[in-house]
Amino acid sequence: MSEIGAVNRTDVQSVLAQMRAMRQAASGELLRTIAEPDAASPAQSVASNATARAGFGQMLASAIGQVNGLEVAADAQRNAFVRGESQDLVKVMVAVQKSEVAFQAVAQVRNRLVTAYQDIMNMPI
């Protein structure tokens, strides 16, 4: 029973560490984007905003790719378990839970982006 707790705790800690690293990277890019326009000319501001948008798009695409990778890995482990190629149910369940949590996080980010877009579009000019 202690092995199961150790595996789950280790996996949870690694997921939390990845989430913290992504948050720090995102906040660092945001602070850099906010600080750059003050020192730049208007032409440089447009260029830096385009770079920031491309950076955000790349970061979002990377996150979605990672979620897809987790789902593919979980599906492969689940299928291997069903076929009898693997006997480790704990790893299968952890992989499935990781993919579900990652998918739910991406869905929440999407919902918040849609809400922010709607709020901006509904602002009076």
How wide is the angle at C-alpha 45 spanned by C-alphas 44 and 50, nearest 5°? 95
pLDDT reported for residue 26: 65
Q: Residue 51: which pLDDT band, with cuts at 50, 70 and 90?
A: low
In one letter, which amino acid is 105?
A
Q: pLDDT tens digits for 76-92?
A: 999 999 999 988 899 99
User: Sign of dihedral through CA atoms 42, 44, 45, 46?
Assistant: positive
pTM (two decimals): 0.54
Distance CA 57, CA 20 (A): 19
Q: What is the pLDDT of residue 13?
A: 75
Distance (Å, whole) CA 18 – CA 42: 36
What does residue 40 show for φ and ψ, rounded to 5 degrees?
A: -105, 155
Average pLDDT estimate for 105-113: 92
- Is 64 in contact with 106 (CB distance < 8 Å)? yes
Residue 21 has a pLDDT of 77
